[in-house]
């Protein structure tokens, strides 16, 4: 079902969700458009359920992609059967393991590496960030940024690759000649780290869906390119909800959760816990599935991306 250069098993390794999602998008681009994608929470999944997904055929014949999020505990708990699977993976399915860490000395790492499926998703250090910005601007947005302007952007935003990419998309729309100066960046990135999309997800966490939709429409007026970044932002938000839920279930104090997951202000954790209680584990998982389907519709020409995103927001009510 996959193209000839696709592997049967991948491990996306690193603690930067944006880079993992970008690599996942790259993998999806190499698979049939009608691939059946299944998302699994690694911290709660059972090996039998995952193997059922891997060994059953896709409903519409486009092959299957099984993505295991937070896969470290899953790999640790089911090490032997996972090692056996990687040694002889299904030919009709692609398995993607999203891990913060996966020691290179482990047998499963070596087995996946032998398949060519190890992908490092580590963000650049602050000193190397301007270089990353220059490359990303050129490769993804056909935008030329001089080193001083890239340094401005790095200083304003820091190591937050999702927000940087959003700014690059906006700058590409603003530019008339495909070039950007430091002065333009200083003016365009006026709200710096307080971008409206992140305020929108903060609003979602409070459960105020009507206000979130209003912010979404306002954001589109300010920055039309937002429709192409929304799925990434919303996926990160849903995955953060999942991590908050799992940490809270382990009786970790809310302030500690907020600190570890970089939730600011820390008081926002209370709203997130209320949203988690309302949605529950199944609700969060179902929301992620709806978001994946909304993204698929947009990329298949079934409705405008902005409309599909708004429909997803309303589905959370």
Q: pLDDT tens across 165-196, in order? A: 888 888 888 888 888 877 777 666 544 444 57
Span 290-315, average pLDDT: 92
Q: Which residue ranges make up each domain of the chain? A: 9-120, 126-188, 196-315
pTM: 0.65
HEC secondary structure over 87-120: HCCCCCEEEEEEECCCCCCCHHHHHHHHHCCEEE
**Strands, sheet with 118-120, edge to edge from the N-terminal-most edge strand:** 36-41, 64-69, 93-99, 9-13, 118-120
C-alpha separations of 43 from 181, 247, 282 in Å: 45, 11, 14
9-120 folds as Rossmann fold (3.40.50)
pLDDT at 2 over 50: no
Bigger pLDDT: 287 vs 6: 287
Look up the CATH architecture of domain 126-188: Orthogonal Bundle (1.10)
The pLDDT assigned to 174 comes to 80
Distance, in Å, from the CA atom of 104 to the CA atom of 224, rounded to the nearest integer, reads 42
Q: pLDDT tens across 145-169, in order? A: 999 889 888 877 778 888 888 888 8
196-315 folds as Zinc Finger, Delta Prime; domain 3 (1.20.272)
The pLDDT assigned to 180 comes to 82
The pLDDT assigned to 1 comes to 44
C-alpha separations of 253 from 46, 68, 175, 269 in Å: 27, 26, 46, 10
Residues, the chain:
317
Is the peptide bond between 265 and the residue preceding it cis, with omega within 30 degrees of 0? yes
The pLDDT assigned to 312 comes to 96
The pLDDT assigned to 116 comes to 92
Q: Do domains 9-120 and 196-315 have the same CATH topology?
A: no
Q: pLDDT tens across 17-37, in order? A: 889 999 999 998 888 888 889
Of 41-50, 72-81, 91-100, 183-192, the poorest mean pLDDT is in 183-192
User: For residue 111, how many other CB atoms are within 10 A of its CB?
Assistant: 19
Q: pLDDT tens across 45-70, in order? A: 999 999 999 988 755 566 889 999 99
Specify the 3-state DSSP secondary structure of 266: coil
The pLDDT assigned to 191 comes to 45
Element housing 37 (H / E): strand 36-41
Which residues, other chains included, contact 296 with Cβ-Cβ below 8 Å and sequence gap of 6+? Answer: 37
If you average pLDDT over every residue of the chain, what do you get? 87
* CB-based contact 185:149 (threshold 8 Å): yes
């Amino acid at each position: 079902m996959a193209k000839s250069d696709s592997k049967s098993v991948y491990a996306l390794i690193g603690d930067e969700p944006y880079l993992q999602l970008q690599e996942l998008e790259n993998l999806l681009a190499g698979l049939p458009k009608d691939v059946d994608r299944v998302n699994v929470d690694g911290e709660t999944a059972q090996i039998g359920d995952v193997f059922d997904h891997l060994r059953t055929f896709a409903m519409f014949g486009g092959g299957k992609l099984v993505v295991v999020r937070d896969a470290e505990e899953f790999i640790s708990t089911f090490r032997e059967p996972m090692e056996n699977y990687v040694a002889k993976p299904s030919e009709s399915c692609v398995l993607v393991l999203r891990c913060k860490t996966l020691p290179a000395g482990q047998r499963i790492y070596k087995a996946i590496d032998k398949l060519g499926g190890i992908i490092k998703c580590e963000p650049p250090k602050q000193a190397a960030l301007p270089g990353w910005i220059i490359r990303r601007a050129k490769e993804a947005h056909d935008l030329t940024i001089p080193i001083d302007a890239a340094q401005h952007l790095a200083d304003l935003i820091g190591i937050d690759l999702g927000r940087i990419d959003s700014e690059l998309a906006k700058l590409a729309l603003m530019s008339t000649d495909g070039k950007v100066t430091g002065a333009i960046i200083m003016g365009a990135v006026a709200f710096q780290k307080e971008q409206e999309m992140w305020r929108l997800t903060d609003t979602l966490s409070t459960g105020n869906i009507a206000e979130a939709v209003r912010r979404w429409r306002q954001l589109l007026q300010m920055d039309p390119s937002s429709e192409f970044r929304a799925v990434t932002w919303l996926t990160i938000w849903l995955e953060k909800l999942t991590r908050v839920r799992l940490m809270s279930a382990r009786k970790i104090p809310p302030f500690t959760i907020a600190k570890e997951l970089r939730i600011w202000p820390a008081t926002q954790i209370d709203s997130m816990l209320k949203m988690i209680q309302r949605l529950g584990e199944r609700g969060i998982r179902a929301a992620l599935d709806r978001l994946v389907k909304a993204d698929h519709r947009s990329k298949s020409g079934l409705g405008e991306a902005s409309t599909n995103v708004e429909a997803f927001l309303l589905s959370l009510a």
